[in-house]
Chain A
Amino acid sequence: MTKTTYSEKELLVSLKSVDRIERNRALSFIYKNEYVKIAGFVKKNSGNDNDAEDVFQEGLTILYEQVMSNTFKKESTISTYLFAICKNQWSRRLRKASTKNELYGVETKEGQTDDLALDSMIANEEVEAVADLLDNMDCGCKRILILYYYENRRMKEIAEMMNLANDKVAKNKKNRCLNKLRKLAQQIPGLKSMSKS
């Protein structure tokens, strides 16, 4: 039977469930109960519907990652915590937009590039390129790597979720997939950090 209400504890358990349907049901529950509040805040503070959707999804992503990595501190309720994250996200966006506008008014001198910013830009590009490689890999490999590195799942859970014989098989597959991704990345000439030499 579909669950229509959750306690805090049940919600956290469902978010971590190995069953995708159960997890999505918990996410829908959070959506139903929290979205209106956050959308109201964003729209009251010079945002529109699209901004509200983006900010809410960013906030829910941060919350999910914290729950999955066991770093979510149960000091406040999910509702209060999510609202605080979204509020911060929206304030940050507004600040960023106003700084950008200020910068457009000042002409930067040629050659004044910040080395640190450049390094970070190159690193981001490399991450982006490897993420593209991963997107083009077979779904099994992509899924096992995401379950392990993004969702912080244990090998036993991964074996269950992917119908693999046991945790050793799952670990073996994860290692093989990561090696494959590493080899693919090393073959791309533009990826300086990934080169073998």
Chain B
Amino acid sequence: MNENTDFFNKIDDFIMGNLRDEELNSFELELANNEALAKAVNQQRILYESIRKSGRKEFVADLKVIHKKVVDNDPKLAKIRKFNWRPFFAAAAVLFIVASCLWLFIPASTDSQSLFVANYEPYELNQNVRDFQQDQNLLRGAELYRDKNYNESLPILEKVSEDNTSSSITMAIAISQHENGETKKAISILQKIIDADDPFLSDLAHWYSALFYLQLDQKENAITHLSILTDSAQNDKYEEAKQLLEKLR
């Protein structure tokens, strides 16, 4: 953890009331005499209030949905029968056992193509995001993407991305490009997510870049991306990247 993170964590603890008496006294003393600290505290307070405001808005939105269900008491809702997931869970368990056995008994191959096939799974575009409900094009594009209709999802998602800079959409565009045979294009789109340093998707962008380079048989480039993921155990895909690197080296 670097000094900068420690500095902001301390401010966080102060604002959230997590400092003990002694720490609080010394922090308040420093706050009274240090203008830069006072400014940083004020900024952190604005961020804190904004996040709380946004959280409250989401909570009230959830309450409005409950209000509709409970108070308006839509009779249609009562008629919806609960979906029985049990057979699907059982089938998934059988599939999992079969796949595990296959994985154990089939010798591992280390050529790029088979490593790609063994590790690649298309990115899942989260359908629960509220944006999706508000933007019909996005909803349609996401549905087509989910149905693996990448030919049709791509132009819609590209159009949506003109106004929406969400990294999730950029990721879905990259995957669609790859699925449509444009792997090089996909890699350059993934680079945009990496450059934006998206906290949730930049690691995944490195992962897909590595896999796509493997498919193009460019092992060195794949190793570069995998090495970034193995820099810290806190990175997403850390374990997978470590295993893949071992096979490649």
Contact = CB atoms under 8 A, between A and B. Distances in A.
Contact of B66 (A27, A65, A177, A179): A27
Contacts of A133: 50
A130 B51 CA distance: 8
B201 interface: yes
B197 A127 contact: no
The secondary structure that dominates the B interface is helix
Interface stretch (A77-85, A88-96, A106-114, A135-143): A135-143
> Which residue, of B71, B129, B167, B232, has the highest number of chain A Cβ atoms within 10 A?
B71
Nearest to B232: A172
Interface stretch (B54-62, B86-94, B108-116, B220-228): B54-62
Given A31-B70, A127-B49, A182 B55 contact: no
B199 interface: yes
Interface stretch (A3-11, A97-105, A144-152): A144-152
Interface string A32-45: 10010000000000
B125 to A, nearest CB: 11
B247 interface: no
Interface in A155-191: 165, 168-169, 172-173, 175-182, 185
A128 interface: yes
Interface in B26-84: 39, 42-43, 46-60, 62-64, 66-67, 69-71
Given A35-B71, A151-B55, A169-B234, A139 B64 contact: no
A86 interface: no
B94 to A, nearest CB: 24
Contact of A28 (B16, B49, B66, B198): B66
Contacts of A139: 126, 129, 131, 166, 168
Contact of B70 (A35, A130, A172): A35
Given A27-B66, A172-B234, A140 B59 contact: no
Contacts of B59: 61, 64, 150
Contact of B46 (A64, A136, A168, A185): A185
Interface in B202-241: 232-234, 236, 238
Given A127-B53, A134-B54, A150-B52, A140 B201 contact: yes
B231 to A, nearest CB: 12
Interface size class of B (residues with CB under 8 A): 35 or more
A193 B46 contact: yes
Contacts of A126: 46
B200 interface: yes
A24 interface: yes
A176 B60 contact: no
Interface residues of A, number: 48
Given A27-B62, A131-B50, A169-B234, A140 B43 contact: no
Nearest to A134: B54
Nearest to A182: B47
Contacts of A150: 51-52, 54-56, 59
Interface in B102-123: none
Nearest to A194: B43
Nearest to A168: B234
A123 interface: yes
A138 B198 contact: yes
B8 interface: yes
A178 B70 contact: no
B5 interface: yes
A145 B71 contact: no
A138 B167 CA distance: 7
Contacts of A66: none
Given A139-B129, A151-B55, 4 more contacts: A172-B232, A178-B8, A180-B198, A185-B46
9 contacts: A57-B63, A61-B56, A61-B59, A61-B60, A133-B50, A138-B198, A141-B200, A145-B54, A149-B16
